[in-house]
Amino acid sequence: MKWLLDLFKTTTPIFVEIRGRETLLAEGYCRIELYSPERIVLANEKYSISVCGGELDLRHLSESAIAIDGRIDKVEFL
């Protein structure tokens, strides 16, 4: 059971909220690893998240949060 708790330990809390199929809000991801209208990959020190769809765009970018707008077809935790 300890390995399961260690898996989710990060120094920054992670929060992902999907609003319909048009908006995704992510907190705790500090790097943009890939950016295109069809795919955006966000990462922190341990995890990555891939957002796939169409006409994807960064609506908000700050030290604590990233918001993505567009048609969201798939969200993948890597």
CA atoms within 13 A on the CB side of 65: 10
Please name each of the domains of the chain with its CATH number: 2-77 (2.60.40.2000)
- For 25-53, write each residue's pLDDT tens digit: 999 888 899 999 999 999 988 889 999 99
Nearest residue to 62 via CA among 27, 17, 13, 22:
27
Is the pTM above the cut of 0.85?
Answer: no
8 Å CB contact between 41 and 68? no
CA angle, corner 25, sides to 59 and 52, nearest 5? 80
Cβ contact 28:16 at 8 Å = no
pLDDT at position 58, please? 93
